Amino acid sequence: MAKLSVMNEAQEIQLAISLIRLGARLQMLEAETSLSRERLLRLYKELKGVSPPKGMLPFSSDWFLTWQPNIHASVFVDIYQYLLKYAEIEGIHAIVKAYQLYLEQIDAQDSGEEPVLSLMRAWTLVRFLDHGMLSTAKCERCGGKFVVDRYDLNAHYQCGLCHMPSRAGKTRKARELREAAQAAL
């Protein structure tokens, strides 16, 4: 590892702190910072009070193509691509800023619920887009851009909002909300 200046090291530590607070795992921290594994482990334990989770990172592009994750992934990608084009930031800084803006849009921080798209999945999504595994296509009905499999036939693409699957919105939470509303009547 090359010698870091004090300023560069401070910036790397700040970046690692931001990533940890947003939910980054150790593999992401190692890939995006030049800090040693031991240093990242100590920093993670200091911030979270526990060791970082172990296990494999999400690796399947299919997750981003299912109904609800696709909508959230598409919102994130639109924000990310806008930042790349107009905000003059790139790399991990663009991912972090886009993810923070995504969280603001879905009100995940205020509701106390886990967002559908985690930082790790957002980071993986950008990598899939960069390597050509996924792409975006314009919905022919609403005109929005959505994440799609690059090799699918997307000439007459309709998004999950315009062509909603039959089971969409049939989650346990939606059922509980309906039952609570009926009980209140």
pLDDT in tens, 90-142: 999 999 999 999 999 988 655 667 899 999 999 999 999 999 999 999 999 99
pLDDT at 3: 60
In a shared domain, residues 35 and 66: no
Give domain status of residue 11, yes or no: yes
Give domain status of residue 183, yes or no: no
Give domain status of residue 55, yes or no: no
In a shared domain, residues 108 and 155: yes
Segments of the chain with pLDDT less than 70: 1-4, 108-112, 168-182, 184-185
In a shared domain, residues 43 and 102: no
pLDDT at 134: 95
In a shared domain, residues 147 and 98: yes
Give domain status of residue 108, yes or no: yes
Give domain status of residue 184, yes or no: no
In a shared domain, residues 33 and 120: no
Helix ranges, the chain (H):
6-22, 26-32, 37-48, 67-86, 91-106, 108-111, 119-130, 172-184
Give domain status of residue 160, yes or no: yes
In a shared domain, residues 44 and 83: no
pTM of the model: 0.84
Domain count, the chain: 2
What's the domain range around 12?
6-48
pLDDT at 1: 47
